[in-house]
Structure 1
């Protein structure tokens, strides 16, 4: 019988979630682009590489694009999306320990004109941290509303997976481990 005055052993599931949350935070800090997968009304897949701003808890991505781009047209007809982020090894070659990545599924939509004020600066500050560069490239809010051709888009992440690094070195099988969305609110 365990002595009730002694602390309980750490919860393995909680430790694993903390480790996955830490990896997610590092990945989001290091990855500059996300790959966004969409499907056309005819069923043709498409992947676009986009700069993004990360909005945590609940997990969301914010990006800008033209309404006429293929992925924007796909989202207008079907908001379900998938995506990935990846950080590679060092410049001297593939450093397996330095490689990390995530995959996600979610729902994407244009940022409503009423919400543009809230998201405009968040997006541009994340994509252009240097103030001079931001001033050079930032579109005014009026250029992100109809009838203008640019918009901000918001992806609400529904599921999130990381590369499962626990067994890869032993069997070389590429697996994923899911991080519950509740871990993003910590």
Structure 2
């Protein structure tokens, strides 16, 4: 239920296919892009998924309904705390969410069958590639601009990685050690 993850003032717009503002200058992705990114992960229900940029927790909740376990990271404490509260209120028991630099991944739980990044970076963070299981998919917006990117699916094979461009997109910047500098 997307309306739970937006402010009361925006609830009437919750099911329109638009990104909407949440706290701290961030956004909740439009429903189409949430569905598209989730589809690109090719989940079967058995996966351990890493989500970077949990934001409001909406994408986290979608993933929790489709995967065995979700490990979510949000760098902004105000968003991480609110997302944890909403996930808990909805009764999800298969989600672990922490406040940290998502570009570094969550190596203690690696490797992951799927990784979804809900922020656009200048490149694909090496720690995320390192934490992807063979046969797994990583979906991430990548581009030279902080305002527009290409949605990319990376698949890890026994011999390396394959890359598939999945169309243009626009996400908030991926801030962190292996992403954009904050404020740059």
TM-score by length of 1: 0.23
Bigger RCO (CA 8 Å, 6+ sep): 1
Q: What is the TM-score with the length of structure 2 in the denominator?
A: 0.23
Q: Between Structure 1 and Structure 2, which shows a larger proportion of helix residues?
A: 1
Of structures 1 and 2, the larger Rg is shown by: 1
